[in-house]
Every structure is written in structure tokens, then in C-alpha cells.
Amino acid sequence: METLTLRPAETDAGARVDAWLASRVEGLTRSAAQRLLEEGRVLREGKPLAKNYRLAGGEELEVSLPDPEPIEAAPQDIPLDVVYEDGDVIVVNKPKGLVVHPAPGHPDGTLVNALLHHCGGSLSGVGGALRPGVVHRIDRDTSGLIIAAKSDFAHQALAAQLQDHSLARTYECLALGRFREDSGTVDAPIGRCPADRKKMAVLPSGRPAVTHWEVLERFSARPGPGGLQGGTCAHLRCRLETGRTHQIRVHLSHIGHPILGDTVYGAKKPVPGLRGQCLHAAGLRFVHPRTGEAVELSCPLPEEFRAQLRELAGRS
């Protein structure tokens, strides 16, 4: 059993403790946080807290995490493009089409299955039986860098960096429409779409979400069928300040610039030669949980992204 000592900020005052724990401890769902509270595993000054306790801000909480559940996802020999690995963390360049963890409809053949085989079962258990080691996720049809933890110690340290933004993620994408500014920020809360539970949306009741973007190159042409908004397109770099589900896709669609190929969030048609959205997690920066040194990694754009850039350059 592992015990965490957490101290909510003054700005967290008024938040429900179960919701706060779910946002603070990566991989811990709100229902799992409620179970911890029901079992008396969350203490303030030695006394168990109720599920509906609201934070005062600044108090010290002790959270006792149970021993990891037995890993239920099975190891599978799936090739991995390993960008960085040591005894604490592993970073891989995930290809498009690879689901991160088992879920309904995807019981195996996932990145987690591949990591279990590659790491010999040495992954943190904080994420539970089906998400061992998973610190953050990227969509199935988004390629690029994703980090996993090999121990609970590393997992908790990296999860804390997600909260304080010292774990930085940079993406590149092709977005439709004419960008008049060279850079900008989308600060708009994101929540589950009430009309379609499989989608996310900008909602007043959503969780805070901030995306910074900058234009790397503008194109006067659009790439084949599926283009939108006057036949223009731009190559963007996006930096996440928060990490909501589908955040970049939702935010760019919200400002009228859906990602090329993203038919879920506004692109009209799929693009020949492109599977899903043209979005790539190109950069990752974090503080190593054991050494305290900065680690900065990058990976090249996938071929189908580069092919779209060549086509755009040739038609502009």
C-alpha cells in the first residue's frame, strides 16, 4: 500500500474532494476516488473524509492507495517505436490506428498490451488493471509521443507534472480555413457533449481547457476532397496547457478551423490517403522523476502527414 500526502491549493477551496482527487491523481477515476473515501483511505488530521467533503484549500490530506490490482491486460508481441526508455519511464511514438488501452470494442491489440510484453510486466499499477503505466492518452487516430511509467513512484511524479504543466506536450496538425493571426490561444471549457456522449464540446459547465497555437505555414490550396472554408489550410503547432479529451480537435473546431480529416469535429469528408485527423504529438518535455533532469523528446511527422504537406505545397 502506498500513502500520498497532498495539499490542495487555496484556489481549490469549495471543490468536492472526490472530483479533486480524480483530477489530481492521474489514472484515478472519480468512482475510484469515491471508493477510497468509502473505505476510509482519505484522511484529514487523521480523520476519514466523507465523499461529499468540500475542500477548504491549504489543508493536508493523506491518501492510502491500495496495492495494484493484478494486471488483466495480456502481454502481446506488438512492435513498438521506442524513443526513450530507462528503469522508470518509457516513451514511444504511437502509430495511427493503435488504441492506447483495452476498452469495450478493443479488448486487446493495444499499446498497453504491447508495453506489457516489452517491459515484462514492469508497469505502474496506478491506472488499474486495464491501464497499467498509462500517464496520459492520445486518440487512436492521432500519432506521436506518449509516456508510460514503470513504477507507481514515477507515475505519481509524472501525474503531478501534468497538473503543474511541467510535463509539456506539443502537437502539429493541418487545420482548415484562413488564419488571419500568426498565433493565438483558445481558452474554453470542455465537457461531454449532451447530444452525443461519444463527443466532447465547449460547454460553460465543462472543465477548464487552454490550447496555444501558432501558424507554421499557410497554404492557398486545400488537399483534395474534404477541404473546407474557401480552399485554404494551415500547418499549426499547438501546445496544451491542459489535457482534456479531444482538446485540440474540439478547440480548433470551436474557432472555425477543424483539423483536416476530422469528420467528427467539422471536416466534411475523409481525405484520400489520410486515416482520420491529421494530428501528430510531435514533442514531449518532462522532468525525470528520479534524476530531476529535464528530458526533451521529439519525433518526425508520419509519412501520410508529410504527403499532405507535399501535396499542399505543390498545389499552392
- Which residue reads 482527487 in cell numbers? 21
pLDDT at residue number 74: 83
Inter-residue contact 162 to 241 (CB < 8 Å): no
Inter-residue contact 84 to 143 (CB < 8 Å): no
Greatest pairwise CA separation for the chain in angstroms: 68
pLDDT at residue number 193: 85
Cell of 221: 490550396
Please report, rounded to a whole number, the percentage of residues in the chain having pLDDT higher than 70: 90
85 pairs with which residues across the strands? 90
**Domain residues of the chain, as ranges?**
2-65, 82-153, 168-315
- Which residue reads 477548464 in cell numbers? 208
Distance CA 253, CA 117 (A): 38
10 Å CB burial of residue 116 (0-12, 13-18, 19+) is buried
Distance CA 218, CA 174 (A): 10
Inter-residue contact 298 to 144 (CB < 8 Å): no
Class of CATH domain 2-65: alpha beta
Nearest one of 152, 75, 158 to 121, comparing CA atoms: 75
Inter-residue contact 161 to 265 (CB < 8 Å): no
10 Å CB burial of residue 72 (0-12, 13-18, 19+) is exposed
User: By three-state DSSP, how is residue 187 classified?
Assistant: strand
What fold is seen in the domain 168-315?
A: Pseudouridine synthase (3.30.2350)
The secondary structure element, H or E, covering residue 37 is helix 30-38
Query: pTM (2 decimals)?
Result: 0.75
Do the domains spanning 82-153 and 168-315 agree at the CATH topology level?
yes
Question: What is the overall mean pLDDT for the chain?
Answer: 88
User: By three-state DSSP, how is residue 63 classified?
Assistant: strand
In the Cβ-directed half-sphere of 134, how many Cα atoms lie within 13 Å? 22
273 pairs with which residues across the strands? none
Please report, rounded to a whole number, the percentage of residues in the chain having pLDDT higher than 90: 58
pLDDT band at 231 (very low <50, low <70, confident <90, very high): low
Q: What is the CATH number of domain 82-153?
A: 3.30.2350.10
Among 12, 88, 139, 141, the one annotated catalytic: 139
pLDDT band at 25 (very low <50, low <70, confident <90, very high): confident
Amino acid identity at 250: V
67 a catalytic residue: no
Lowest-pLDDT range of 28-32, 70-74, 83-87:
70-74
Inter-residue contact 22 to 33 (CB < 8 Å): yes
